Amino acid sequence: MVMTQKPSTSRPVALITGASRGIGAACARLLAVQGYAVVVNYAERADAAQALVDELTRAGHTAWAVQANVADESQVLAMFAAIDTRMGRLDALVNNAGVVGATARVDECSAERFKRILDINVLGSLLCAREAVRRMSTRHGRRGGGIVNMGSAASRLGSPGQYVDYAAAKGAIDSFTIGLSREVAGEGIRVNAVRPGIIDTDIHASGGWATRVADVQATLPMKRAGTADEVAQCVAWLLSDAASYTTGALIDVSGAR
Ligand code: NAP
């Protein structure tokens, strides 16, 4: 698939999935400051996404909110078609949207839960990466680009007794990053993953453990959780020319956890 639209913005364009809150919002802020026009994807929290877009626009940046459930192929296709129409180019994808389930053992989980965890964390990343490669690859007549997948330290820790399904999904993100990076290395696209440790965001409350950061920080090697901005700094570096020979890397931003 080769897009034929003339670029409607001279700025590079970055799509950040799950950018209404947490790590994704921090990535959108930092990439906007670095000169990207940012597409702020969200699932349900239109209020949070619009507040971020308003904040960035007031600061003189270019930002736009787009609703799409990344686990739904038709919604992903509609989001990328809207980017084609409105932005006319795509230079960077941050595959950040992700969810955890409530703390549970594997023998307590339903098939519906497993499916949701795998669909959003894995299928969503695969679908968005596929659409991004179609718009970035020199094989498709495009100018190249960068993809950063949001993995997790859970892929090597396994999260026993908490959410092994999520850890397995993030293990798939590691393998996907290695494979896709090799597949498109000669096509102008670098693909890397960032694997955060415990980061202070809403995700812990959504998994039913709102006090997780406060509860565990004394046990962490650095005696504190990380911040969303500390993860965003690594994402922005990976997308920058400073990382021009870095692809297929899985970078831990986990404070030695
Ligand atoms: P968060 O604060 O809970 O934010 C999640 C974001 O993902 C929100 O913007 C949410 O949109 C969006 N989202 C959820 N389901 C979606 C879907 N189906 N389609 C599109 N967007 C969806 O999470 P976070 O802590 O920033 O986590 C971001 C990423 O980092 C995830 O991949 C997570 O697994 C990973 N990570 C986080 C930590 C941590 O400790 N925080 C550690 C390791 C890895 P709405 O606002 O519309 O709901």
Residue 221 pLDDT greater than 70, yes or no: yes
Cβ atoms of residues 180 and 129 within 8 Å = yes
Cβ atoms of residues 172 and 150 within 8 Å = no
Mean pLDDT of 95-101: 98
Mean pLDDT of 115-119: 98
- 199 CA closest ligand 1 atom index: 40
Q: What are the pocket residues of ligand 1 if the criterion is a CB atom closer than 6 Å to any ligand atom? A: 17-24, 41-45, 48, 69-71, 96-99, 120, 150, 152, 196, 198-199, 201-203, 206
Q: Please report the domains of the chain, with CATH numbers, ordered by start residue.
A: 13-253 (3.40.50.720)
pLDDT at 188: 98
pLDDT band of residue 10 (cuts 50, 70, 90) is confident
pLDDT at 6: 46
- 19 CA closest ligand 1 atom index: 9
- 20 CA closest ligand 1 atom index: 9
pLDDT at 8: 61
Residue 208 pLDDT greater than 50, yes or no: yes
Q: Percentage of the chain with pLDDT > 90?
A: 96
Cβ atoms of residues 117 and 166 within 8 Å = yes
pLDDT band of residue 2 (cuts 50, 70, 90) is very low
Which secondary structure element, helix H or strand E, spans residue 16, and what is its range? Answer: strand 13-16
Tell the burial category of 4 from Cβ atoms under 10 Å away from its Cβ (0-12, 13-18, 19+). exposed
Query: In the annotation, is 36 catalytic?
Result: no
Say how far apart CA 93 and CA 27 lie, in whole Å.
11
Say how far apart CA 49 and CA 157 lie, in whole Å.
32
pLDDT at 1: 33
Q: What is the pLDDT of residues 38-60, one digit of tens each?
A: 999 999 999 999 999 999 999 99
What's the 28 CA to ligand 1 centre distance in angstroms? 13
Please name the residue whose Cα sits nearest to atom 18 of ligand 1: 69
Q: Which one is catalytic: 36, 42, 163, 166?
A: 166
Q: How far apart are the first and last CA of the chain?
A: 42
Cβ atoms of residues 119 and 126 within 8 Å = no
Say how far apart CA 125 and CA 40 lie, in whole Å.
15
Residue 141 pLDDT greater than 70, yes or no: yes
pLDDT at 4: 37
pLDDT band of residue 9 (cuts 50, 70, 90) is confident
Distances, alpha carbon 169 to alpha carbons 6, 46, 54, 134, 217, in Å: 37, 26, 33, 24, 24
What's the 197 CA to ligand 1 centre distance in angstroms? 14
What's the 81 CA to ligand 1 centre distance in angstroms? 23
pLDDT at 247: 99
